[in-house]
Amino acid sequence: MDIQIIRSRKRRKTIQARKRNDRIEILAPAHMTDEQLQPHIDSLVKRIDQNEKASVLSDDDLQKRALRFNRQYFDGILQWQSIRWVTTQNRSYGSCTSMRGTIRISDELASMPTFVLDYVIIHELAHLLEPNHGPQFWELVNRYHLTERARGFLMGAGVTSQDNNA
């Protein structure tokens, strides 16, 4: 993607990015050198990419998948308040706050195979019944026939913890 830097003497501290057609415009103070600006550019471009990726992801699609998995693997007994895509989850691919019934799924999964996304959803749904990673939790998660394959994929993608792959 083409990046254009627009420097301004009026701008003192703030750096801003905006997307115009197929170009990202970086609005920056005139006094900043390219070297000073580069880490900010990297961060802003990454944020724009994440926001674009998230805009094509549908929370409604996640909800439909979760409802199907609830019926298929949990006999329809689970209840949750929300399941949604997030762009801010960098250390794990999913999280569940079981007391509130909120599930968050990292947008990083959008570029992974569907069976991996399905595994993470099932993993987080299982936390609604078992908040820890004990034997009963893994008994629930292992109902999904591709659990080991998905865990192996995530380990290869850089998630190193055996207990908390989602």
Per-residue model confidence as pLDDT tens digits over 7-39: 999 999 899 999 888 899 999 999 999 999 999
Tell me the C-alpha distance between 128 and 110, whole Å.
Answer: 23
Per-residue model confidence as pLDDT tens digits over 36-78: 999 999 999 888 877 776 556 788 999 999 999 999 999 999 9
Tell me the pLDDT of the chain averaged across its residues: 89
165 belongs to a structural domain: no
pLDDT of residue 88: 80
Tell me the C-alpha distance between 98 and 130, whole Å.
Answer: 8
**Distance (Å) of CA 109 to CA 34, 67, 70, 116, 123:** 33, 19, 20, 7, 14
Q: Which two tokens stand for residue 155?
A: 């380990």
Residue 141: which of 155, 121, 156, 115 has the closest Cα? 121
pLDDT of residue 153: 92
Full domain range(s) for residue 138: 59-156
CATH number for the domain spanning 133: value is: 3.30.2010.10
Number of domains composing the chain:
2
Does the pTM exceed 0.85? no
Task: Report the pLDDT averaged over residues 116-126.
Answer: 97
**Distance (Å) of CA 140 to CA 10, 113, 160:** 59, 22, 21
Per-residue model confidence as pLDDT tens digits over 143-158: 999 999 999 999 887 7
Together in a domain, 48 and 103: no
Exposure pattern of 18-40 as b/e (b: 16+ CB <10 Å)?
A: eeeeeebebbbbeebeeeebeeb
Domain stops at, among 33, 56, 79: 56
pLDDT of residue 53: 67
Domain stops at, among 38, 56, 74: 56
Tell me the C-alpha distance between 11 and 73, whole Å.
Answer: 56
Residue 14: which of 24, 26, 25, 29 has the closest Cα? 29
Together in a domain, 92 and 151: yes
